[in-house]
Structure 1
Amino acid sequence: MAAAMASQGERAVLEEEFKWLLQEEVHAVLRQLQDILKEASHRFALPTSGSGRAVKQENFVLSTSGTDQVKGVMTLQGDALCQADVNLKMPRNNQLLHFAFREDKQWKLQQIQDARNHVNQAIYLLMNRDVNYQFKTGLEVLKLMDAVMLQLSRARNRLTTPATLTLPEIASSGLTNFKPAGGSVLHNPGAMFEFGSQRYEVSHVHKVECVVPWLNDALVFFTVSLQLCQQLKDKISVFSSYWNYRP
């Protein structure tokens, strides 16, 4: 009898704690997530329709690890690579070759636009309810967290593993004056392309990188937000495991 009363009392306490979690803590976490993701969205300095404001250009040094065969500078304007100057030292005779973007072309970095779209979708999911809305079940919160985490994971993946263009895609973009020969994939030794009247084969591959601070900031915001979502899911799961347990 005493054990049954203790069990009922314990259950009543847990029910009150769970009610507080749904009514108070969930909304506090949602507000925190909104603030963080709005900061992340602001890092994507992309022009908006009708704003009339030009996004400033930023210059970044290109570098390769362990070699000085490739050096250069690129200019990023929002989600567009608008200028690039690259010097390539030939491995056999140390001849220096210079390459640059065409002045009338820009290379739109679709992964930046996609990442921002995913962030904005996550913000929409967090704000798409009345301010006085009350969650009724833990499952409802779990579904929301899963949906938000999906968008954040997609945003992070678009920045950390961007797609690689093939030679035909680059040739058709109008950024360059060469055309591919065959369907070889870019960055693959043995790929063929034509420039002017000359035919060339890719013999070596060099990967150049640069650090874009505001994109790094966005990735940090994504990671923190994903951790907050997971922590809230874990708290919900603790209560769910209790309701499912029957001694």
Structure 2
Amino acid sequence: MAAAMAIQGERAVLEEEFKWLLQEEVHAVLRQLQDILKEASHRFALPTSGSGGAVKQENFVLSTSGTDQVKGVMTLQGDALCQADVTLKMPRNNQLLHFAFREDKQWKLQQIQDARNHVNQAIYLLMNRDVNYQFKTGLEVLKLMDAVMLQLSRARNRLTTPATLTLPEIASSGLTNFKPAGGSVLHNPGAMFEFGSQRYEVSHVHKVECVVPWLNDALVFFTVSLQLCQQLKDKISVFSSYWNYKPY
């Protein structure tokens, strides 16, 4: 009898703690997530130059790891690459070749637009309820966290795994004056393209990178938010392990 009463008492305490988790701690975590993601969203609020509200241009140095074969500077205006100057050292004779974007063209970085949309969708999910709303089940919270984490994971992946263009896509973009030849699909060694009346084969591929501080900030906010979501899910899972059935 005493053992049964002890179990019943422990169960009552756990149920009260679980009720407190749903009514208090969940809302505290949601408020914290909203604050963090609003800061992330502000990173995508593009700074203006003060001249007619135009988006400010930012210059970034391009670099390659372990080689000086490629050097350059790119100019980012919000989510558009508007200028790029690249110097390429030919591997055989060290001849320097200079390339630049056409002045009348811009390269819209779709991954930045997509990341912005995903973080805004995550904020919408967190705020899409009355301020006095009370969660009734753990399952309800888990579904919300899964939905938010999906948007944040997509936002992070779009920034950490940049899109690459094929030679046909680059040629059709109008950014350059060359066209692919020989049915080439990827800009890998062996791919062919034409420039003017000359036909060329890709012999080497170099990857250049630059650090965009405000995008790095956004990635940190995404990571912290994903950790908070997972921690809340873990707490609900711990409570569920005390019951033979799911207290959802």
- After TM superposition, the score normalised by the length of structure 1 is 0.95
Partners of 2:104 and 2:12 in 1: how far apart? Answer: 70
CA contact (8 A) 1:82 1:107 kept: yes
Q: CA RMSD in A?
A: 2.4
Partners of 2:210 and 2:51 in 1: how far apart? Answer: 29
Partners of 2:157 and 2:195 in 1: how far apart? Answer: 34
Partners of 1:219 and 1:106 in 2: how far apart? Answer: 25
CA contact (8 A) 2:47 2:56 kept: no
Provide the secondary structure at the position in 1 that maps to 2:243.
Answer: helix
The verdict on how the C-alpha distance between 1:42 and 1:28 changes in structure 2, with shifts beyond 3 A counting, is same
Partners of 1:130 and 1:246 in 2: how far apart? Answer: 26
Partners of 1:211 and 1:48 in 2: how far apart? Answer: 20
The verdict on how the C-alpha distance between 1:220 and 1:232 changes in structure 2, with shifts beyond 3 A counting, is same
**Aligned-pair distance for 1:241?**
1.3
**Aligned-pair distance for 1:223?**
0.5
CA contact (8 A) 1:167 1:183 kept: no
- Alignment correspondent of 1:25: 25
**Aligned-pair distance for 1:45?**
3.4
**Aligned-pair distance for 1:239?**
1.0
Provide the secondary structure at the position in 2 that maps to 1:145.
Answer: helix
**Aligned-pair distance for 1:69?**
1.1
Partners of 2:48 and 2:140 in 1: how far apart? Answer: 34
**Cα deviation per residue 1:81-133 (whole Å; 9 max; x = unaligned)?**
00000001111111111000000000000000000100000000000000000
Partners of 1:240 and 1:232 in 2: how far apart? Answer: 13
Equivalent residue pairs, number:
247
**Cα deviation per residue 1:35-70 (whole Å; 9 max; x = unaligned)?**
000111111134899997322111000011111111
**Cα deviation per residue 1:178-232 (whole Å; 9 max; x = unaligned)?**
1111332343001111111111110011111101111111111010000000000
CA contact (8 A) 1:45 1:55 kept: no
Partners of 1:215 and 1:111 in 2: how far apart? Answer: 11
CA contact (8 A) 2:48 2:54 kept: no
**Cα deviation per residue 1:150-169 (whole Å; 9 max; x = unaligned)?**
00000011011122110001
Partners of 1:56 and 1:188 in 2: how far apart? Answer: 34
The verdict on how the C-alpha distance between 1:53 and 1:189 changes in structure 2, with shifts beyond 3 A counting, is same
Larger deviation, residues 124-133 vs 185-194: 185-194
Partners of 1:52 and 1:37 in 2: how far apart? Answer: 29
Partners of 2:16 and 2:9 in 1: how far apart? Answer: 11
Percent identity, aligned pairs only? Answer: 98
Partners of 2:241 and 2:53 in 1: how far apart? Answer: 53
Partners of 2:19 and 2:52 in 1: how far apart? Answer: 48
CA contact (8 A) 1:63 1:209 kept: yes
Which 5+ residue runs of structure 2 have no aligned equivalent? Answer: none
**Aligned-pair distance for 1:245?**
6.4
Partners of 1:48 and 1:137 in 2: how far apart? Answer: 45
- After TM superposition, the score normalised by the length of structure 2 is 0.95
The verdict on how the C-alpha distance between 1:50 and 1:12 changes in structure 2, with shifts beyond 3 A counting, is farther
Partners of 1:222 and 1:182 in 2: how far apart? Answer: 43
**Aligned-pair distance for 1:242?**
1.1
The verdict on how the C-alpha distance between 1:179 and 1:23 changes in structure 2, with shifts beyond 3 A counting, is same
Which 5+ residue runs of structure 1 have no aligned equivalent? Answer: none
1:203-242 maps to which residues of 2 (within 5 A)?
203-242=203-242
Partners of 2:23 and 2:147 in 1: how far apart? Answer: 20
- Alignment correspondent of 2:158: 158
